[in-house]
């Protein structure tokens, strides 16, 4: 059964990475996709790709950290198409580096986008879905929202908050026929690696750059089937690729293992200057 046929879906961060893969998948399976991104040129490219392959898409510029823009995005979509079946709160940003090197302004920006952007999306779509009596919200957190991660304190904090918020909302939303899932992607090769600022200088050494580039990460397209299978099954937490669940299981069984692993990685990276 194709649950995505003739549905209306909003995807934030749809210009690239996981968001673009979600847009492409949904369009191929019959959904009309609203491709929301602060990078309008990228969103238009996704729209062109979707329509060239027989799908239906609409690119929209939006800053998800701006509540009025999120309100307009969601209310205009509902008005134009009569319903919203899926909201993928997917857009996100990151900053890499030690806690002592991350400014308060950077902390605020991370939380404004990664946490408040999700909250705004849910806040404005929720009453619409209650009136409809149906809908599915999928909030993108990260594997970093399930396990700790050195050099990503701000990012990991925001993603842990998204996991807690989404699971709590899931318990409330069910009574109204609304589904809430949390997408926790593992280590994937996306545009976020190219746009993330390294605020601790040693992360910019040639050895550390080469080490990052040499890692054999999968792409979103490699595991989009796993992601959308989790959506179809209405899973509370969706981890993809599946093999990265081992880190989550390991952290629950041995809470000190992953912090100590990152401690060793950080020491190695500092020696690579």
Active site residues: 155
Is-contact 125 71, C-beta < 8 A? Answer: no
What does the alpha-carbon distance between residue 14 and residue 10 come to, in Å, rounded to a whole number? 9
Is 72 exposed, middle or buried (CB count within 10 Å of its CB: 0-12, 13-18, 19+)? middle
What does the alpha-carbon distance between residue 151 and residue 245 come to, in Å, rounded to a whole number? 21
Query: Nearest CA to 191 among 3, 4, 19?
Result: 19
What does the alpha-carbon distance between residue 214 and residue 210 come to, in Å, rounded to a whole number? 6
Cβ within 8 Å of residue 52, ≥6 positions away:
none
Looking only at the bridges linking them, the beta strands covering 135-140 and 86-89 are parallel
The residue with tokens 């238009």 is 44
Is-contact 143 185, C-beta < 8 A? Answer: yes
Cβ within 8 Å of residue 241, ≥6 positions away:
186, 188, 218, 222, 223, 226
């Amino acid at each position: 059964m194709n649950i995505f046929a003739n549905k209306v879906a909003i995807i934030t961060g749809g210009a690239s990475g996981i968001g673009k893969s979600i847009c492409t998948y949904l369009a191929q399976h019959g959904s009309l996709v609203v491709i929301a991104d602060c990078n309008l040129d990228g969103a238009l490219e996704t729209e062109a790709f979707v329509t060239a392959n027989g799908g239906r898409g609409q690119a929209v510029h939006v800053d998800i950290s701006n509540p009025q823009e999120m309100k307009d995005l969601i209310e205009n979509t509902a008005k134009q198409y009569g319903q919203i079946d899926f909201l993928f709160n997917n857009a996100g940003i990151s900053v890499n580096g030690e806690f002592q090197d991350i400014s308060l302004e950077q902390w605020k920006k991370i939380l404004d986008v990664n946490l408040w952007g999700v909250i705004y999306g849910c806040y404005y779509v929720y009453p619409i879905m209650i009136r409809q009596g149906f809908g599915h919200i999928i909030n993108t957190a990260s594997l970093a929202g399930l396990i700790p991660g050195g050099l990503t304190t701000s990012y990991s904090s925001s993603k842990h908050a998204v996991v807690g918020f989404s699971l709590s909302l899931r318990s409330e939303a069910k009574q109204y026929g609304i589904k809430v899932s949390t997408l926790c992607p593992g280590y994937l090769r996306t545009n976020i690696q190219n746009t993330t600022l390294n605020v601790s200088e040693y992360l910019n050494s040639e050895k550390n750059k080469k080490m990052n580039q040499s890692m054999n990460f999968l792409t979103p397209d490699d595991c989009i089937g796993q992601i959308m299978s989790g959506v179809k099954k209405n899973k509370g937490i969706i981890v993809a690729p599946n093999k990265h669940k081992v880190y989550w299981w390991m952290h629950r069984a041995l809470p000190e293992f992953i912090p100590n692993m990152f401690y060793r990685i950080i020491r190695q990276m500092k020696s690579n200057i």
